[in-house]
Amino acid sequence: MNFQWYPGHMTKARRMMEENIKLIDLLIEMLDARIPMASRNPDIDTLGKNKSRLVILNKADLADPEVNQQWIRYFQEQGAVTVEVNSKSGDGISKIKAAVEEACKAKLERDRARGIINRPVRAMVAGIPNVGKSTMINAIAGRPSAKTGNKPGVTKGKQWIRLQKNLELLDTPGILWPKMEDQQLGLHIALIGSMNDELFASDDLAFELIKELQQKYPLVLEQRFDAVKDLQDPIEILQAIAVSRGCLKKGAEPDLVKAGSILIEEFRSGKLGRLSLERP
Residue 207, class by beta-carbon neighbours within 10 Å (0-12 exposed, 13-18 middle, 19+ buried)?
Answer: buried
Of the listed pieces 3-11, 81-89, 201-209, 223-231, which binds ligand G4P according to CB under 6 A? 81-89
Backbone angles phi, psi at 157, to 5 degrees: 70, 155
For the CB of residue 216, give the shortest distance to ligand G4P in the complex, in Å.
19
* Between 31 and 210, CB nearer to ligand G4P: 31
- Whether residue 103 contacts residue 54, with contact meaning beta carbons closer than 8 Å, is answered with yes
DSSP string, 199-268: GS-HHHHHHHHHHHHHHH-TTHHHHH-GGGTT---HHHHHHHHHHHTT-B-GGG-B-HHHHHHHHHHHHH
Query: Binders of ligand G4P among 129-158, rule CB under 6 A?
Result: 129-135, 148-150
Contacting ligand G4P (CB under 6 A), which of 58, 68, 172, 261? 58
* Between 183 and 196, CB nearer to ligand G4P: 196
Contacting ligand G4P (CB under 6 A), which of 26, 27, 62, 104? 62
Of the listed pieces 67-75, 84-92, 107-115, 257-265, which binds ligand G4P according to CB under 6 A? 84-92
Residues 184 and 213: their CA atoms lie apart, in Å, by 14
Alpha carbon 117 to its chain centroid, in Å, reads 35
Contacting ligand G4P (CB under 6 A), which of 41, 52, 68, 87? 87
* Binding flag, residue 61, ligand G4P (CB under 6 A): yes
For the CB of residue 70, give the shortest distance to ligand G4P in the complex, in Å.
18
Cβ-proximal residues to 153 (8 Å cutoff; 6+ apart), any chain: 9, 12, 13, 16
For the CB of residue 29, give the shortest distance to ligand G4P in the complex, in Å.
12
| Cβ-closest position to ligand G4P | 132
List contacts with ligand G4P (CB under 6 A).
58-59, 61-62, 86-88, 127, 129-135, 148-150, 173
